Each structure stands twice: as structure tokens, then as C-alpha cells.
Amino acid sequence: MHHELEVVADPDAVAGTAAAFVARPARACVRARGRFTFAVSGGHTPWAMFARLAHEDRPWEQAGVFRVDERVAPDGDPDRNLTHRRESLGTAPAEVIVMPVNDAGLDAAAAAYGGSLPERFDLVHLGLGPDGHTVSRVPRDPVLEVPDRPAALTAPYMGHRRMTLTRPAPARAQQVLWFVTGADNREPLSRLVAGDRSIPAARVEAAASLVLADAAAAGRGPARAGARPPAGP
């Protein structure tokens, strides 16, 4: 998959650039068919992006915000991405579709969540880890080889199992938007953009991909890639 790369100064600039990027397809999709579907990863930079978006005049009532991954932890736990998503969205009336990680039968819960996903996502946000992982799909985890279920459970990783979207799910996206920050992500960023499929992130497929990286991750100063957000359907 081809990636457009845009380099900005720092994580705060990534959040601000992303907020502006997200706004256009959100409005266009709502105008076209009354719904904007957005799947989001965790992390400080996307939380900052949502905090910016929450205070702007956006069609939140028509937005469905999905999780791409979630730790198996109690509701309200600080390790849960959902906890921080609720805080960053504030009172914005978006529909947040929660991963059912507190259900007794987690495999069945993952199957049910996968069945609830839309036929396509207008936008999917992904992050990148120093080991090349994305959406809790880490190197050598069996979930990497799931070919047909859109959501599944990972093996334990850094103290938690996670529910995660699998390879087929991001392929439904009209656009993937990556956030890559910090010098420790310089090597995996290079491998992602080069299409090195030995890292899990490079196996993601979608119709279009924009990578927003800060200068520390890119190893160079800000530069525009010339990419523009999709106009909608």
C-alpha cells in the first residue's frame, strides 16, 4: 500500500493537523449519507486530537466512533482506551461503540463486535509502535494470521490481553490516518513507508493512507506531502 507522508513539528502539531484532516470527510460523509464512521486507536496524541475536535462545530450526532483495540480491563480503568476517549470527547454527542471486553465469553464478544462493524469505515486511525505493531497486533502474535474474522483476542502483551480489529477490518477503510511520534519510532516508520511486511503495521491495507509523523520520528524537519483528506463518498 502506498503511504503519503507528512512531517510536522511535534505531537501537538500532529494532533492539530489530524483534527483539521478529520473535519472535512466528517462533514462530507454526513452531507452525503447522514453518517460518518471513524475507528480510532488509543494514545496521547489521538486523545489530544479528540479534545480539539470536541470543542468545534462538527456533526457529532451523526458520527459513529469505533475502537480498533482495547485492553481487557474493568470499565473506568486508566489502562482502558475508552476511559481516555470519554474524557477527551467531553460532552460531544458522538456515538461511541464500545468493545465488549468485560463480557464473560471474550471470543464470542469479539465475534459479536466484529459483526457490528460497518461494511466500510470512512476513516481509520492507527498508531505505530517501536516493534512495528499496530492495533495490538504485535510481532509473532497468532492474531496476525486471522484471515476472516474482523475482531479477535490477542495473547497477553504488556500485562493485558486485548480485543483488536484484525487484518480484514482496516481493509474496509476509505482512508487510514497514521500517527507516528518520537525518535524510537524512526526505524519502524521507515519500514512502514517502505512497505516492509516483516512488521505487522506494513500488512495493513486500505484504499488510501496518510502518515502524520513528527520531526523526531521522521528524522527531519516539517514537510508537506501534498495529501488531502477524502472528500467523502
Read off the pLDDT of residues 177-208 as tens digits, 9 standing for 90 and up: 999 999 999 999 999 999 999 999 999 999 99
Domains of the chain are 4-218 (3.40.50.1360)
Cα–Cα nearest to 16, from 8, 24, 28:
8
Q: Is the pLDDT of residue 126 over 60?
A: yes
d(CA 1, CA 126): 15
Across-strand partners of 121?
A: 173
Three-state DSSP class for 38? Answer: strand
Cα angle: 119, vertex 125, 127; to 5 degrees: 135
Cα–Cα nearest to 30, from 61, 55, 52:
61
Task: Report, as an integer, the average pLDDT of 29-50.
Answer: 89
Dihedral sign from CA coordinates of 62, 13, 3, 44: negative
Length of the chain: 233
Task: Report, as an integer, the average pLDDT of 146-173.
Answer: 91
Across-strand partners of 165?
A: 151
pTM for the whole thing?
0.88
Q: What is the pLDDT of residue 230?
A: 41
Cα angle: 57, vertex 62, 64; to 5 degrees: 110
Three-state DSSP class for 144? Answer: helix
Q: Are 98 and 151 in contact (CB under 8 A)?
A: no
